[in-house]
Structure 1
Amino acid sequence: MASTLTSPGSSTGSGNRLRIFNWALWDWGSASFNAVIITFVFAPYLTKSVAATEEAGSSALGWSMAAAGFVIAVIAPAAGTRADAGGRHRLWLGVHTGIVVLTMFGLFFVRDSPDYLWLGLLLLAVGSVFFEFAEVSYNGIMVRITDPGNVGKVSGFGWGMGYVGGLVLLVILLVLVIQPEVGFLGASDEEGLRFRIVAVLSAVWFAIFALPVLFSAPGAKAKGTSGGHPIRAFLSDYAGLVRRLIRMWSTEHQTLRFFIASAVFRDGLAAIFSFAGVLAAGSYGFSASEIIILGVAANVAAGAGAMIAGWFDDRLGPKPVIIAGLIVIILGGLPILFSAEAAVFWVCALILSFCVGPVQASSRSFLARITPPESAGENFGLYATTGRAVSFLGPAMFALAITIFGFQRAGTLGILIVLAIGLALIIPVRPDAPARSMQARLQG
């Protein structure tokens, strides 16, 4: 297994440490899209200030993100296979990141009028699609700059950089743009200019910190023909993907089970961040500024957790970290069901955030450890697809629990059930089984 994960770029010298740092800077910069655009600033602006009503805006945002998720589920695996075939993870990372940055710049034209709602939703959806495609290539590069001895640490370092980058940018934007009556570059509430400037600054942030990995990431030898007509090549890749899934069912069953288990618990993790602000405002009376402060604190906790857990990942393996993290999250979320005290919510939110980072990072590490470099894009494309395939589960269980029990905090129970299902699914997965089956095929 060690030989399959070792690449020319996996030496432990200072040059490779610089490559790892440059690689992690992409995570640092990408937080401008996740934390600022999608979670804490611009998407709420769309639903509250641009849409005619908050309910209409939230519904439209949900449908647009669902459509984006469908596109990702259909295209991401073949996109990863195409990157593998041509050995072009760095090229495709640059292309897809560039498109995301352009959509962020485009958000400057979304004024606070319902006439601009669909422009904003379209840009968010397109940005989300290409962000997922970029992550497929980004994760594929990680396999080429690490080895089995430090992949957990590197994965955790990347996640941690993302969380720290998000909180740094949130604080900068809060101080310079959001809080002042007239902020940086003349930011004001007129025509939503304050939030439109936030989008531009976030785009610049992402572009700057994405550049280092594009110049320093190692190349890879093409393992197949990447030329020909694009449509025929894409269809051929997809046919190969179908054959791969059939083969996985019989010879890489554990890898397939990992994809399923991780899809479930990752959706529960995503739901934690998606509804934390909703719970904070609705059940605990947090103001808008308090929610942003909560977001900053959550990023600090998650980043610290991801970096610390990387040490345990490399020594104990990713599976114990995932299992321990999920257990703590489930237990740490239970008090929310029974208490309406803001202090209880703060403690629980920080505990959950601290454990979310390690579970996410070790999940990526788990896949990296069982993935040979020549299949990195294909496997991480499947990783993205399976994650999107059940993206409805967390929100549906959240809403169902509220409907059944009649109070908002009950939605937490729905999310905890999803996480418990994911925990039950990951426990029997054997992380070394795919490597053994792969070696058996090579020897045969």
Structure 2
Amino acid sequence: MWDWATQPFATVITTFVFGVYITSKAFGDKDQLSINYGWAMAGVGVIIALLAPVLGQGSDRSGRRMRNLLITTMLLAVISASLYLVAPDPGYFWLGVALLGVGNVVAEIANVNYYAAIDQVSTPDNVGRVSGLGWGMGYLGGIIIMLLIVALFGTDLGPDEIRISMILCGVWTVAFSIPIFLFIRDRKPRPKVSRVGPLGSYRELFRSIQDLWRTSRQTLYFLIASAIFRDGLAGVFTFGAILAGGTFGFTFGEVVIFGVVANIVAGISTAVFGILDDRFGPKRVIMASLIAMILAGFAIYLMHAQGKTVFWVLGLVLTMFVGPAQAASRSFLARLVPAGQSGEVFGLYATTGRAISFLSSTAWAVSISVAVWRTGLDKESAQYAGILGIVLVLLLGLLVLIPIRDPKPADAAAAAE
């Protein structure tokens, strides 16, 4: 339910609605807005990279993950609703960016607590199923609220409709997260430990990394591999809509329809693959998903001139495997985490992901630039080559993942104790 409750921030606010609104001409020159927005989000990434492992460590120390999750979830709801205040005027641009940036930080910190609490609602035998179901519910929740917004306001949203939809997102998050906090409690309080300041937390963090290197080196290797392929997965959604509109000529309405269908497909496939995760192991699910996406992405590159049908078919293949890879990545790490270090390690999971979050966007831009240089086409006409950059990031993540051992049931049981 938590994935369902908080998905509006990712789907409606960050991706489809508010992120587009805040960089629209209502706030000034679109090119300059995009640059300012990009720098602001880069700063947000740095903040998350610095805070996530230390706050996760604090969550481990206090043993109050559900309380911390409650606080961050309610903050996320308030920030979502507060975006209503961002009127379509250049003077409100930095307010909107600031609220969105703080929301991203809060959402990522909430994710750290949520991921670390997965052992409270799962066992080593069903963690893959639970993780897959959570991701699937998130996708479906995002689509339901998108359909609700379209039903209320249509596909051509004006500034007022966009601002009202922000309040709807905040209310949605509160309403659907309440059952979680009513029925799920922290298992047992941790023994009281002395409080540690920020510098002490970082010293302890580096000691923990050294301990992981000595005692659970596979965990560190997986953090690196997953950071790479997760950035590729993010790139699929980040640039998918751009590719659909720019290369394949989708209208805005067609992009919305594709987004709805894609998220439904992703939600169902993620839940189904969660069952396969428990049966065959998360590594096989991740590898199969990455291979399928690499092949589909390369096929899109080769067949880009064949029309919209190509993207409808192969684009849905891509989205079909994004969720399973994300969910299996979470369950893989949950099986590897040493006992008592869930918050800290999932904090590192967030940090490593943010540390190389430039890979997909850089690979996308470089691939297009190389295509322009080699073919003489303009950037718009050569946009199709950007998919090769995403494919290369996914391939790199796959290659780094291959030597890592799939966690055995015994490993998962030990981590859960």
Taking structure 1 as the reference length, the TM-score comes to 0.87
Aligned 8 A contact 1:160 1:302 in 2: yes
Deviates most, 52-61 or 118-127: 52-61
Distance 1:76 1:226, change over 3 A: farther
User: Does 1:347 pair with 2:313?
Assistant: yes
- What's the counterpart of residue 350 of structure 2? 384
- What's the counterpart of residue 337 of structure 2? 371
Deviations 1:127-167 (A, max 9, x none): 00010000111112211221111000000000000000011
Q: Give the one of 406, 420, 441 matched to 2:395.
A: 420
Deviations 1:263-288 (A, max 9, x none): 00000000110011111111111111
Deviations 1:366-422 (A, max 9, x none): 011112452211111111111111000110000000011121010100110000000
User: Does 1:272 pair with 2:226?
Assistant: no
User: Does 1:290 pair with 2:257?
Assistant: no
Aligned 8 A contact 2:283 2:332 in 1: yes
Q: Give the one of 193, 210, 213 matched to 2:160.
A: 193
- What's the counterpart of residue 379 of structure 2? none
Counterpart code for 2:70: G
Give distance in 1, aligned partners of 2:16 and 2:143: 11
Deviation for aligned residue 1:233: 3.2
Q: Give the one of 105, 108, 111 matched to 1:132.
A: 108
- What's the counterpart of residue 366 of structure 2? 400
Give distance in 2, aligned partners of 1:100 and 1:198: 15
Give distance in 2, aligned partners of 1:373 and 1:166: 33
Distance 1:72 1:226, change over 3 A: farther
Give distance in 1, aligned partners of 2:82 and 2:61: 32
User: Does 1:141 pair with 2:108?
Assistant: no
Aligned 8 A contact 1:84 1:376 in 2: yes
Give distance in 1, aligned partners of 2:173 and 2:299: 37
Deviation for aligned residue 1:250: 2.6
Deviations 1:338-374 (A, max 9, x none): 2231110111110000000100000001011112452
Counterpart code for 2:403: P
Distance 1:149 1:438, change over 3 A: closer
Give distance in 2, aligned partners of 1:308 and 1:436: 24
Gaps of 5+ in 1: 1-24, 181-187
Deviates most, 398-407 or 50-59: 50-59
Counterpart code for 1:106: S
Aligned 8 A contact 1:144 1:373 in 2: no
Aligned 8 A contact 2:219 2:337 in 1: no
Distance 1:334 1:431, change over 3 A: same
Distance 1:436 1:350, change over 3 A: closer
User: Does 1:121 pair with 2:87?
Assistant: no
Counterpart code for 1:273: F
Give distance in 1, aligned partners of 2:179 and 2:270: 22
Deviates most, 153-162 or 427-436: 427-436
Deviation for aligned residue 1:114: 1.1
Counterpart code for 1:401: S
Gaps of 5+ in 2: 373-381
Give distance in 1, aligned partners of 2:118 and 2:408: 22
Between the two proteins, the alignment pairs up a number of residues equal to: 405
Counterpart code for 1:375: Q
Distance 1:384 1:390, change over 3 A: same
- What's the counterpart of residue 6 of structure 2? 30
User: Does 1:165 pair with 2:141?
Assistant: yes
| Residues 10-21 of structure 1 mapped to structure 2, 5 A cutoff | none
Give distance in 2, aligned partners of 1:176 and 1:398: 35
Q: Give the one of 307, 314, 320 matched to 2:271.
A: 307
User: Does 1:87 pair with 2:63?
Assistant: yes
| Residues 42-61 of structure 1 mapped to structure 2, 5 A cutoff | 42-61=18-37
Aligned 8 A contact 1:394 1:418 in 2: yes
Aligned 8 A contact 1:301 1:354 in 2: yes
Distance 1:370 1:345, change over 3 A: same
Counterpart code for 2:23: T
CA root-mean-square deviation = 2.0
Aligned 8 A contact 1:82 1:234 in 2: no
Deviation for aligned residue 1:225: 3.6
| Identical residues among aligned pairs (%) | 42
Taking structure 2 as the reference length, the TM-score comes to 0.93
Distance 1:156 1:426, change over 3 A: same
Q: Give the one of 409, 430, 434 matched to 2:405.
A: 430
Give distance in 2, aligned partners of 1:253 and 1:371: 11
Give distance in 2, aligned partners of 1:335 and 1:40: 26
Distance 1:394 1:337, change over 3 A: same
- What's the counterpart of residue 181 of structure 2? 214
Aligned 8 A contact 1:145 1:218 in 2: no
Deviates most, 242-251 or 298-307: 242-251
Deviation for aligned residue 1:237: 2.4
